[in-house]
Each structure stands twice: as C-alpha cells, then as structure tokens.
Structure 1
C-alpha cells in the first residue's frame, strides 16, 4: 500500500475516533447537565382567591401558551412529535388529577418553575419556555396558579422526551440551552403596569414572544427547535422586518387570529396561533405599538 494511502486511512480513522469520542462525551454531558442542581431561593408567592383572580388566570392560561402545551384541561399532551424517531415531547399533567406533577407544589415551587425554569428538586426544565414567563408579575403568576389549581382533575403523567442523538450531543456541548440558562435569575419581579394600548403594557405582554424571536425581537434560528422549523421573523423596524405587512391594528389582529398574512398566504404553523388568537384586542394592539418603538435590528440577530 502506498504511503499516502496509509496516511489517508490513518487520518480518516483518527477523525472517526475523535468524532465518536465527541459524541460519547456530549451524551455524557447532556445527562450531567439535566441532573445538575440549581440553587434558587424560595420566593413567597401569594396565590389569590376569588372570581377576579380565576378569570385572570383563565385568560393567561389560554393566551400565554399554557393550554397549547399542556392542553385545555392541563392533563398534558404531545406537542412535538417528529416522525422517524425524531424529537418527541409530551408535556406533564399539571391538573389536580391522577399523575399530576404539581400535586405537591407549594407556591414557591410554582414560582421557581414558571419564572425560573427550575423544578422543585433544583434540576432544570428542558423545554419549558420560562424565559417567556420570567417577567410575569406576582399577581399574574398567582392568578395563573389559582386557575390551574381550580381545573377539573384529569389523568396524566410526567413529561416525556425523546431526544435524537444530535440534539443530546448539542445540549451536552451547551449549544442548545435549557430553560434555566436563558434567564437572569437575579432580576426582581416585574412591577404591574396598567392595562391599555400603551408601549409599557405592550412590552409586558410581548415577553411571551422572546423565546422564539429573541430578546431583541429581530428573530432568527430558534434555539433547540427542530431543523425543519423556519427562522423566526424580525419584529423590529429593521432590515427584513415583517411589520410593514401589517399597516394597521386590524391587519395585525387578523393575522394573529387567522394565521394568514394580508395577502392571504399562510404564516408558519410554528407560530402558536391557538395561543395568539386568545389574546384580547388590548393586548394585541399594545404588542403592535411596542414593536414599532423597538430599535431597528437586522433580521436574524435575535
């Protein structure tokens, strides 16, 4: 065998060996990262009673993505199910029924889970979009908990995940962050702002969008999303913005509730339209107003 062929075979063998080692290390690290414990002091959350709090909680449950992931009854359901052994995710039962993962939750456990992406035992949640909820006020987190506790008991179980090997390796290497890594845990809770079509209220409601569109709202590749998901849109007034398509509030509302652009074309089904169509006019109009005030950023910079 010629010398150059031997060197080539040795090189290919070395690359394969290094790749196998990297994969094994990534899988090991993914298990370690999911098992790590995160210290987050208990927060004494008040859970209100009464019809007003339950009505607010019901609205938040429908309009902030809870029903879309956990189902309207809170029993949990598959919300990602890629064919051929791809990514699979089933949300846990958070109703008061059999198999509920929240049956023993204290108010502090709820606050740590919702706002920080951390389980009561200190381990991180993998897919829970707590970055979207980390700025909820105490009153809104409390109302949400009160409503979930009031749900009719439904049977379910814990969360279930099937992570393809590439996803496990990328998570192990830190390329894909979990919920707890996307949050500044030192920030104090948001203070309430009056509801209305204002920039301040729009900023508060639009926090539900940052998981996909990024903290800067300019969109781009969605971290941890399946490879067939398109990049999220640029919601700032910068280059590549989608805002000019929605010339008035009526067009914006219609798009959020129908999943159709003004020209009739379909917006990506990755958008959580079950959630968005539950938003009331005040919240939608305030979001649009807030987006118009954002610093322009080129598309894709999140």
Structure 2
C-alpha cells in the first residue's frame, strides 16, 4: 500500500513538473513569436481624395468590422472584457494615433497581412478577413481612415490574455493572423456590385475569422471558453443557413440580431453587420444558400460558389480573430 502511495505521489510530482515546464516553455515561445520578424513586401496603398472613393471607404469601415474594434470615430475601443483576464482594445487610428507615421505600404502590411510596420505580428487584427480585399477597396478604406479628424484616444492596442492562452499561443495551438495568411496570394479581382454569387462570395471573406476559410464553423478561434461555437454556414450544406430560406429573414437577422423565431444571437458584430447594404446582404445570402456547382447568376458558375480563399484552411484558433467577434448566424 505504501509503495502504491509513493508511486502515486511521485507520478503526480512528475506530472506537475512536466506541466510547469510546458507552461514556462510556452510563455518563452510566446514572447519569441510576438517579436518575430515577418518578411513581406506589400505594395503601397494609393491615397485618394475623390468623393466616390471616400464614400466606398466609409461603407467598408462601417460594415466590415472596423467600428467594432476602433470605434465609429477611429479613436479606439475596448471590445472584449470578460472579467476573467481577457481584455482587448483596438487603438486610435486617426492621425493622432498609431498610424500617424504610416507609410503607404504600412497600411497594406497591417490590414492585409497582420504585420506591423516594423515587421512584427499584429495580435489584435483579423487580417485573414481582409487579406483578399481588392486593391480598389483597400485604397478606399485607407483613404477614408486617413481623412478622419485627428482625435485623442487609445494610443496602443490592449492585449491582455490569461496565462494559459499565452502558453497555447507560444506552443502553436493559437496562431496569430500573420501565421494563418498566405502572404503570396494576389488580391481579389474587382467584383461588380449586384445580387450575384460572385459578389456574395467576396462579401463572405469577412466571415473567415470566426467560421474558418471553409466556413465550416467550430469553436470560435481564440475566443473565451464560454463563447458558443461558430455555425457551419457553408454553401449548400445542412448548415445554419437552413433557418434563413428567405432573403428577408436573413436581412432581418443582420439588422436585429435575432433569429426568425425571435431568439437573440450571441457574440455577433451586429453594429457592423447591420450596416451591410441590401445588395451586399442579399448577395451574401445567395452565396451561402447556393449549392456547390450551381451557376446561380450565370456569371461565375461553379467557381463562384466555392468558399472564400482569404487564408489557408483553419487548423487551429487564432488570437487575432478575437477582434472580429462572431460572424454570421448561430
């Protein structure tokens, strides 16, 4: 009996030492990963001031999640604070904030690639959602942000995570956006506005951060343990989209934050989703309800119904996707 007790105590001690060593190793590796250099060569973003471009940029800023993290005026915003050690806030991105010294290529680096101007990874930036922006849309978004009035705000992003989350990040279980993105992918080609599968597919890139590159859903990348799983919203599957047979129901959900039965949807960025135009919302519904291989609009055929390709298929959760919240219906 005593031998068994000694063996049990010894095993528990050994297990504790292994866990402590793994935690220490994870924390060390996390610091190394946060300070790694990522060599990319982004193209400069064109600075534009014409009214049409600025208006397009305003729409993208309002409808693609920027307000959720940076606020309507761009002065920064706390968007996660669970009272359990997770607190995240986006920084001031007016001319009085962190972007004051950005060069034209720095905007591309940060938005599309999740990389700071100094080559280090951005942890709180869902760049996998924006990696496939067309050049024109990236130019429009940046041009709009650059004309925002300079205002005081949060000078630095806030990234406070529980120690276990940092350990998982260091050990590779929670990659940042820069690790998930194929930095060699060319930008998307321009897609005409309209209620088409092609346009819906382009809009659906904003769903990747939480639902994954294949839109299959699963546990929310990098989210707190009590967050519900993201739904499977793949086109043509037996997915959550079955609740939204009509476009009217789908658009009502985007505007109200409620399912057709009246039940509220948790952890969704409705402040941004509610700003999608009727055309983009209808196109998104069309894409998400069109079976693979069906040429729904006679323009792009089967290729247009494939899932968006803003990043490699998700294999692990991402720290950065905390900033984009949950996407799409649950």
Asked whether the two chains share a fold, i.e. TM above 0.5, the reply is yes
TM-score, normalised to structure 1's length?
Answer: 0.94
Corresponding position of 2:143: 146
**Structure 1: which 4+ aligned runs deviate by more than 6 Å?**
none
Who is 1:187 aligned against?
A: 185
| Structure number with higher relative contact order (C-alpha < 8 Å, ≥ 6 residues apart) | 2
Quote how far apart the aligned CAs of 1:284 are. Answer: 0.3
Q: Give the aligned partner of residue 72 of structure 1.
A: 72
The TM-score, its normalising length taken from structure 2, stands at: 0.86
Q: CA RMSD in A?
A: 1.6
Q: Which residue of 2 aligns with 1:57?
A: 57
Equivalence map 1:171-250=2 (5 Å): 171-236=169-234, 237-239=236-238, 241-250=239-248
Spell out, residue by residue over 1:157-201, the C-alpha distance to the aligned partner (whole angstroms, 9 max, x if none).
111111101100010111111010111111111110111000111
Which of residues 117, 129, 132 is equivalent to 2:129? 132
The count of corresponding residues between Structure 1 and Structure 2 is 294
Question: Cα offset for 1:48?
Answer: 1.9
The residue number in structure 2 matching 1:95 is 94
User: Is contact 1:177–1:223 with CA below 8 Å preserved after alignment?
Assistant: no
Superimposed CA distance per residue, residues 244-275 of structure 1 (whole angstroms, 9 cap, x where no aligned partner): 2112111110001101111111111x111001
Equivalent residues of 1:213, 1:220 under 8 A apart: yes
How many angstroms apart in 2 are the aligned matches of 1:104 and 1:45? 14
Match of 1:166 in 2: 164
* Residues 92 and 156 in structure 2, CA contact (< 8 A), matched pair in contact too: yes
Q: C-alpha displacement at 1:88, in angstroms? A: 0.5
Unmatched tracts of structure 1, length 5 or more: none
Contact 1:63 1:277 in 2 (8 A): yes
Check whether the contact 2:68–2:77 (CA below 8 A) recurs between aligned residues.
Answer: no
Partner Cα separation in structure 2 for residue 177 and residue 293 of structure 1: 31
